[in-house]
Amino acid sequence: MSFSPCIKLCEGTLSVMMRRLVFAAAGLALATAVAAVVALYLSNSGLREAAKNATAPAIGGPFSLIDHTGRGVTEADYRGKLMVVYFGYTFCPDVCPTGLYKIAQALDALGEDANGVHPLFITVDPERDTTAVMKDYVANFHPDLVGLSGSLEQIGATTKAYRVYVAKAEPEAGAAADEYLVDHTAITYVMGRDGGFRQALSHGSSVEEITAAIRKALDDRS
């Protein structure tokens, strides 16, 4: 009598389990490593390094858009002051209003120093966000807030330059064709007087953190 069939079977089962375990562990390690790299990349220091490094593509750059008064503008029109740039769309149910409200609060907290800042709201949804729509919308938040729209190509080039993720969702069943949501990056970019990248603030940033980041960029005379 031999136990070998059972042992073989058990060994076989064991080795399959071990292999699965090793695969799972390797998968987890890989996922963790990827998450760590992404987190590092998204951290401010990572972004700042990327912006400083001439070989890495910088965040921001030239743009050609239409402001909420109907005037054609480029990034050169905003030189000499900081740009605080936020991408979103007026139909956004809560993320954009929250982000813009916090930027407005930060501008108020800066007092007279806010004169050194151009707060810019750039739409990711130019098809609905016309000049007239943008004009009404920005007035809800702050008198200094500039709403920028443009053609699909102009907006596409700008979101690409700022590496903003934009994904138009299908309207819900029963909703009108123009009642769609747009998934988008909700980052506040602080750009220097030279138009260069200074800092990126996540959606969760507090008014105090946004205020401090703007103040730091204002104090930076380089």
Phi, psi angles (nearest 5°) of residue 96 = -65, -45
Q: What angle separates helix 207-219 from helix 95-110, to the nearest 10 degrees?
A: 50
For residues 158-180, b (16+ Cβ closer than 10 Å) or e, as one string?
bbebbbbebeeeeeeeeeeeeeb
Q: Which is nearer to Ni ion, 88 or 192 (CB)?
A: 88
Q: Taking the complex as a whole, how short is the minimal distance between the CB of residue 102 and Ni ion, in angstroms?
A: 13
| Residue number closest to Ni ion, CB atom | 92
Residue whose structure tokens are 């007035």? 139
Q: Which is nearer to Ni ion, 89 or 193 (CB)?
A: 89
Q: Taking the complex as a whole, how short is the minimal distance between the CB of residue 137 and Ni ion, in angstroms?
A: 12
* Residue numbers at the binding site for Ni ion (CB under 5 A): 88, 92, 95-96
Q: Taking the complex as a whole, how short is the minimal distance between the CB of residue 94 and Ni ion, in angstroms?
A: 8
Q: Taking the complex as a whole, how short is the minimal distance between the CB of residue 89 and Ni ion, in angstroms?
A: 6
Euclidean distance between CA atoms 136 and 150, whole angstroms: 16
Pairing mode, strands 188-191 and 182-184: unpaired
Q: Which is nearer to Ni ion, 63 or 121 (CB)?
A: 121
Q: Which is nearer to Ni ion, 96 or 191 (CB)?
A: 96
